[in-house]
Chain A
Amino acid sequence: MIELAGLTKRFGSKTAVDDLSFQVRPGVVTGFLGPNGAGKSTTMRMMLDLDNPTSGSVRIDGRHYRDLDEPLKYIGALLDAKSMHGGRSAYNNLLCLAQSNRIPERRVAEVLDTVGLTAVAKKKSKGFSLGMGQRLGIASALLGDPEILMFDEPVNGLDPEGIHWIRNLMKALAAEGRTIFVSSHLMSEMALTADHLIVIGQGRLLADTSMADFIRQNSRSFVRLRSPQWEHLLDVLARNGITVTQTADGALEVDNGRIERLGELAAQHQIVLHELSGQQASLEEAFMQMTAGSVEYHAHSDTGHGPPPAPAANWGESYRAKAQGPAGNVTAERSASDGEGV
C-alpha cells in the first residue's frame, strides 16, 4: 500500500505536482495516466525519495522510503531504461544491487532468466537495445521479490511480443497479491492491463476510479448511417423524434441508437443506406477529453479541442477533418451535446 498525502513539488515558479493525494492498493494493477509532462515521473521519483517534495508526504506501508530497511525487498522500481552503468555487465549491475540489500546472489540469475536476458548476462549493458535495457530495468525491480512494484512507462521500446509479456507479467504479479503501480501516457495500453486508474494532468488529480467505471462512464456508443438520400433520412428520423448529428464527411450519427430500429425505419421509407454500423468511441478519446485542458505540451495547430463548429459550416470540409489530429476526434465532440436515445 502506497499513500500520497497532499504531495506537492515546485521547480521555481512551476508547479509540477500539485496537492496530489491518492492510495495505491495491493492486489491490483493501478494505472497512472497522464499526458507528457503531467508530473507522473516526478511523482514516482518522490515516491522513491529521489526528489524531495515541496510539501506533503509519501508513505509505504506507513513508513517513509528512507526508513525502509532493505528497500528492494519492499519496492522494486523501473524508472527508465538508462539507470544502469553501461560499462558494467548486466550480471554485475544486478549483483551490486543485490549485495546492497543482502539478496542472495542466485536471485540475479533467476531474474535474468525471468526477463530473458540470460544469454547476454555477461555483456556490457551499454550495447543493449532500448527493449533489452527495459528488460534489465524490470529485472532489477524484481530482484528483491518485493511486495510493491513500480513501472514508469514499461512498454517503451518493447516489441509486440515484449509488450504482451510485460502485460501478462504485471497481471501475474498482481494476482500474487502484490501492489502494482504502472504509469503510461497511452490509455489503450492501460485499458488492457490496469484494474484501477489514476489520471493526472498538470500535476493535479483528475480521476481516481476503477477501470470498469471509467469505461462505463466514458465510452460513448452511437450508430453511424450514410445514405445518398440523407435529406430524406433526416426528415424521417426527425419525425420519429430521433436526434441526429451530421459529421464532417456527410455521415449521420445517432447517439445510443438501436441499430435494428434505425434499419427498419430506413426500410419502411425505402431509403438506400450505404452504411449502418454500431460504433464505440475509444477510451483514448475519453482520456483526451478529460486531459484536454491540462496538456502541457501542445502541438499547435488550429484544431485540437476547441468548441465544436456549427454543423452547417462543415459541409465540404471533409478534407480538413482528415487533416486534423487523432482520427475520428471531430465527430465525437460534435455530438457530445445530444444524448437522446431512440
Chain B
Amino acid sequence: MTTPYQQQAPGAPLGTYTSPIPVRPASLGDALASEWTKIRSVRSTMWTLGVLILLVLGIGLLAAVAVNASDAHMGDTPLLSLGFYGVLLGSICVITLGVLTIASEYGTGMIRTTLTACPSRARILAAKSVVFFLLSFVIVTLCTGLVAMLQMGMVSSAEQPTGSQLFKATIGVSLYVSTLGLLSLAVGALIRHSAGAITVMIGVVLLPLVLALFMFAPSLEGVRQALFEYSIPSQLAVFYGSSVSDSGPTGWTPLLILGAVTAAALGGAFAALNSRDV
C-alpha cells in the first residue's frame, strides 16, 4: 500500500489518540443501569404498567364490593381468589411489557446501537431480564398486596386467609406473572417482532383452555384434562387455592414448570442472539 500523502498534524505520531475516559472491564452493573434508563424512559412502560395497576386494583375491588353487596356467602371459596380475574387480565400487560423490552429494539433499530455498545449478548439479555423481572415483580406485588388487604378488610362473609394463603396470593402470584413476562421477553428476542410475539404469548395463555373447551370426544378426555390443568390461567388459580381440579399441579409446582419453560426459552434466545446477524 502506498501512502506518501497523509494529512497528519505535525508532531502527532500515528495512532496516539486514546480516549481520556479510563477503560475498565465492563460489568453487568453498567448494563443494568443502562437497561433501567431504557425501560423508564419510554412511554409504553408507563402505559402497560398503568393499565396493569388499574386492572388488578379495579377488578379486585369491584369483586369485593359485588360480593359484599349481594350478601352471598362465599362458602369454601378462598377470599383472596377474588383477586384472580384482575391479575389474569393484568398479565396481558406484563406480557406486552416483556415483549416490548426487547422486540421494540428490533423494531426501531436500537438493537444495533445497543449491541455495538455492549457486544456481549449474554450480558444484554441478562440485564434486560433482571431489570424487567424486578420492575414487574415489585409492581405486581404492591398491587396484589394492596388488593388482598382491602379485600380482607371489606368482605366479612368469608374466612380470613392464613399467612401461607396470603403469601401465595401476593408473592407467589407476582413471581408467577413476572416469570410469564420473562418468557414473553425470551419469545420477543426469538421473534424480534413486537406484535407477533405478543400474539404468540396471548395464544400460549388462552389456546389450551379454548382447545379444551372443544374436546368433546371421550377418547380425548385425558388430553382435555391435561390442557385444563396445565393451562396458564388454571396454574395461576392454584396460587389462589382455587384450582379447577384435584389432580393437577399444586403448591409451588406451577412456578417450577413455568420457570423451567422460561429458562429453556431464555437459553434459546441467547443462542439465537449469539449466532444471528443483527
Chain A residues at the B interface, C-beta cutoff of 8 Å: 1, 22-23, 25-29, 45, 48-52, 65-66, 68-75, 77, 79-80, 82-89, 92-93, 95-97, 99-104, 107, 140, 144-147, 171, 174-179, 195-196, 208-213
Contact = CB atoms under 8 A, between A and B. Distances in A.
30 contacts: A25-B3, A25-B14, A26-B15, A27-B12, A45-B112, A45-B277, A50-B115, A52-B275, A52-B277, A66-B120, A69-B24, A69-B26, A70-B23, A71-B119, A72-B116, A73-B19, A73-B21, A80-B109, A85-B42, A85-B108, A86-B108, A87-B108, A89-B41, A97-B34, A100-B34, A107-B21, A146-B19, A177-B17, A195-B5, A210-B3
A23 to B, nearest CB: 7
Contacts of B44: 87
A177 B15 contact: yes
A147 B110 contact: no
A48 B116 CA distance: 6
Interface string B107-133: 011101111111110000000000000
Contacts of B118: 71, 100-101
Contacts of B12: 27, 175-177
A150 to B, nearest CB: 10
A96 B7 contact: no
B220 interface: no
Contacts of A51: 277-278
B33 interface: yes
Between B16, B21, B104, B108, the greatest number of chain A beta carbons within 10 A of the residue's beta carbon is seen for B21
A51 to B, nearest CB: 4
A101 B117 contact: yes
Interface string B18-39: 1111011110001101110110
Contacts of B275: 52
B24 A77 contact: no
Give chain B's interface residue range (CB within 8 Å of chain A). 35 or more
B25 A74 contact: no
Q: Lowest 8 CB-CB distances: which A-B pairs, in order?
A: A26-B15, A100-B34, A212-B5, A177-B17, A92-B41, A96-B37, A99-B34, A51-B277
B2 A209 contact: yes
Classify the interface of chain B: helix, strand, loop or mixed: loop
Nearest to A30: B3
Nearest to A172: B9
B25 A145 contact: no
B263 to A, nearest CB: 24
B37 A99 contact: yes
Interface in B32-62: 33-35, 37-38, 41-44
B163 interface: no
B42 to A, nearest CB: 5
Given A71-B116, A96-B41, A147-B18, A208 B1 contact: yes
A145 to B, nearest CB: 5
Contacts of B30: 99-102
A77 B116 contact: yes
A68 to B, nearest CB: 7
B8 to A, nearest CB: 5
Contacts of B277: 45, 50-52
A84 B116 CA distance: 12
A8 B13 CA distance: 32
Given A70-B24, A145-B19, A211 B37 contact: no
A75 B38 CA distance: 22
A145 B20 contact: yes
Contacts of A27: 6, 8-9, 12, 14-15
B23 A178 contact: no
Contacts of A65: 119
B116 A73 contact: no
A144 B113 CA distance: 13
A177 to B, nearest CB: 4
B108 A84 contact: yes
Contact of B7 (A1, A28, A45, A179): A28
B117 A83 contact: no
Between A26, A100, A213, the greatest number of chain B beta carbons within 10 A of the residue's beta carbon is seen for A100
B275 to A, nearest CB: 7
B21 A26 contact: no
Contacts of B5: 195, 210-213
Contacts of A175: 7-9, 12
A29 B193 CA distance: 38
Contacts of A49: 115, 119
Interface in B211-264: none
B2 to A, nearest CB: 6
Contacts of A66: 119-120
A101 B35 CA distance: 12
A112 B242 CA distance: 56
Contacts of B14: 25-27, 177
A129 B233 CA distance: 46
Contacts of A147: 15, 17-19
Given A92-B37, A174-B7, 14 more contacts: A27-B8, A27-B12, A52-B277, A69-B25, A84-B109, A87-B43, A88-B38, A88-B42, A147-B17, A176-B9, A177-B9, A209-B1, A210-B5, A213-B5
